[in-house]
Amino acid sequence: MLNLVLFGPPGCGKGTQSARLVAAYNLIHLSTGDLLRSEIAHGTALGLEAKKLMDQGVLVPDEVVIGMINSKLEANKSAKGFIFDGFPRTIAQAEALDKLLAGKNTSIKAMLALDVEYDELVKRILHRGEDSGRSDDTDPVIIGKRIEEYNKKTAPLIEYYQKQNKYHRIIGKGTIEEIFAKLCNVIDSL
Ligand code: AMP
């Protein structure tokens, strides 16, 4: 199985690149942000609770997202592999993911970390907010909070995967095609 963590701050291009990687490598895309937005769209209790936190730009509880990922892994047992997008976002989530995958005799092959400067992130998110319909994409204060959450709780995962020799840094500058080519180079060299 080819299991990849596509990593990076909000607005770094994970969603855009995931769509291309899924098509190129025949993988299943698992975005906890998308799964949560789907819960919100269906008006579930989980969605209502998550929305309050998402609108503030803070993370939802680990057990909520771990549970969602577990169900998706169970539902896609014959997959060639997964791209994890926006998950894990905390050390506890990364540990839980390692355990879940080990229970299925597989593991994370690589963390592909997109590196994009702060100002560029804010610019991209505000641009996306013009038609994404996401309330967390339009308010610069909330966007700042999301990036702060990333720096505080999510960035430490770089060291977590570095220790496992799985960390690959990709400069997220250039066209979508150029960044995609860089990602493919890393994957093809694994
Ligand atoms: P995203 O679409 O990945 O930018 O996520 C949007 C929002 O969903 C985040 O700001 C969090 O509130 C929540 N979220 C998504 N994924 C996670 C996760 N793995 N852990 C905690 N919260 C998450």
Structural domains in the chain plus CATH codes: 4-188 (3.40.50.300)
Q: Tokens 């959450």 appear where?
A: 149
Contact partners, residue 22, CB within 8 Å, separation at least 6:
28, 29, 83
The pLDDT value recorded for residue 176 is: 96
Looking at ligand 1, which atom is closest to the CA of residue 58? 12
For residue 13, the 8-state DSSP code is S
Query: What pLDDT sits at residue 92?
Result: 98
11 lines ligand 1 (CB under 6 A): no
Provide the phi-psi class of 133: left if phi over 0, else alpha when psi is between -120 and 50, else beta.
left
* Type of residue at 45: A
Which atom of ligand 1 lies nearest, measured to the CA of 57? 10
Residue nearest to atom 2 of ligand 1 (CA): 33
Phi, psi of 13 (to 5 degrees): 105, 15
- Whether 37 is catalytic is no
- The token pair at 164 is 């496992």
Contact 131, 122 (CB under 8 A): no
Cβ(147)–Cβ(9) under 8 Å? yes
Residues 38, 152: Cα–Cα separation, whole Å: 26
pLDDT at 136: 95
pLDDT of residue 64: 98
Residues of the chain with pLDDT under 50: none
Q: Which residues contact 88 (CB under 8 A, 6 or more apart)?
A: 5, 94, 96, 97, 157
pLDDT for 170 equals 98
Q: Strands, DSSP E only, in 4-102?
A: 4-7, 28-31, 82-85
Chain segment 123-175, per-residue pLDDT in tens = 999 999 999 889 899 999 999 999 999 999 999 999 999 999 999 999 999 99
pLDDT score at 44: 97
State residue 71's pLDDT score: 97
